[in-house]
Amino acid sequence: WLDHLSYNYSNSVSKVGAKVYFSNGAGLGTYNTGDNSIEKLTKINGLSDIGIKLLRVNDYNNVLLVVYENTNVDIITPNEKIINVSDIKRKIITGKKTINEVFFSGKFAYISCGFGIVVFDTEKLEIKDTYYIGTASVNLEVYDVTKNDTAFFAATTDGMFYGKLNANLSYFQNWKPLNIGVAPGPYNSVVNFNGKIIANYSHKLKTNLDSKDTLYEYTASGWLKYSINSNYKDA
């Protein structure tokens, strides 16, 4: 069998060593920056599924996560072995079963999902924990996660939440709202940029209309609007 998939566009790109992986949704292409060679990788020759949504590489150990729209996940190891991890796809979950983003810290991948955060060990290739944010009966959708030296920060449908690193984050009540000075949500992205926690308030998610989003920086006095221009020299 031969594939006849178009590789003229890409919806996600990641670089692992000398190889650049790019996805066209259905399969992967690889470009080797060392010898300029190009290869194709599809379900025919190694992938477990179709409908690729995200490619995310853990710089800690060069493990690549291939995330599918149906929440299936393939792991591509540094020696290019492909291992399927279908735990999220197979699990019966109360809430929205989606994967929105992946954040890495050391060997762990923190996978932002429609029902919470899945903690995945990229060395043992197993799920370590699941964090639920919200109440005992309603789990909030998490769009993104980051951390600093003291806490994790989660961007959710109902605003920003944080959980202290030394707390049992598997217990939903240890995740606290962090919405001083801003609207309660939704937030679709959060990053640690040069030690600053910066979150994006999404008008698109709230109104379903194309409009300007707003960036906020978390400070000792709460959230303040973040100006890219005024902080450009610090970048």
Q: What is the pTM of this model?
A: 0.90
Q: Is the pLDDT of residue 233 over 90?
A: no
Section 94-109 average pLDDT: 94
Of 180 and 193, which is predicted with more confidence?
A: 193
Q: Is the pLDDT of residue 50 over 60?
A: yes
Q: Which of 16-30, 64-78, 91-105 has the lowest mean pLDDT?
A: 16-30
pLDDT at 6: 55
pLDDT digits (tens, 9 = 90+) for 107-154: 999 999 999 999 999 999 999 999 999 887 789 999 999 999 999 999
**Rounded-to-integer distance, Cα 139 and Cα 172, Å:** 9
pLDDT digits (tens, 9 = 90+) for 1-20: 445 555 566 789 999 999 99
Q: How far is C-alpha 30 from the geometric centre of its chain's CA atoms?
A: 21
Tokens standing for residue 171: 């217990």
pLDDT band at 232 (very low <50, low <70, confident <90, very high): very low
Tokens standing for residue 113: 């999902």
